[in-house]
Copies of this chain bind each other. A is one copy, B any other.
Amino acid sequence: MPWISHSTTNEVINQICDRIWLAVVQRTLRPGARLKEEELTEIFGTTRARVRQALAILEQDGLVTIYPNRGACIAEPSVDDAQDAFSARLAIEQRLVTRLCRSAKPEDIAILRDHIAQERAAHARGDSEAVIRLSGEFHMLIARLAEAELLLKILRTLTIRTSLITAMYQTQATQTCGPDEHDRILAAIEARDESRASHEMTHHLEHLETALRLSEAPMPVSGLREALHGIAQRRAP
Chain A positions near chain B (C-beta within 8 angstroms): 9, 56, 60, 68, 80-81, 84-85, 87-88, 90-92, 94-95, 99, 148-151, 154, 158, 161
Contact = CB atoms under 8 A, between A and B. Distances in A.
Nearest to A157: B154
Contact of A84 (B9, B60, B148, B158): B148
Contact of A92 (B56, B91, B99): B91
Contacts of A94: 91
Given A9-B68, A56-B56, A91-B91, 5 more contacts: A81-B150, A85-B150, A87-B151, A88-B148, A88-B150
> Can you tell how many copies of this chain the complex includes?
2
Contacts of A154: 88, 154
A22 B130 CA distance: 46
22 contacts: A9-B68, A56-B56, A60-B60, A80-B149, A84-B149, A84-B151, A87-B95, A87-B99, A87-B150, A87-B151, A88-B92, A88-B95, A88-B154, A90-B95, A91-B91, A91-B94, A91-B95, A91-B151, A92-B92, A150-B158, A150-B161, A154-B154
A230 B217 CA distance: 56
A80 B149 CA distance: 9
The interface centre, meaning the residue of A81, A84, A88 with most chain B CB atoms within 10 A of its CB, is A88
A68 B151 CA distance: 24
Nearest to A149: B84
A98 to B, nearest CB: 9
Contacts of A84: 148-151
Contacts of A9: 68
A35 B143 CA distance: 32
Which residue, of A85, A151, A161, has the highest number of chain B Cβ atoms within 10 A? Answer: A151
Contact of A81 (B80, B95, B149): B149
A78 B80 CA distance: 36
A81 B148 CA distance: 9
A60 B90 CA distance: 23
A179 to B, nearest CB: 25
A92 B91 CA distance: 6
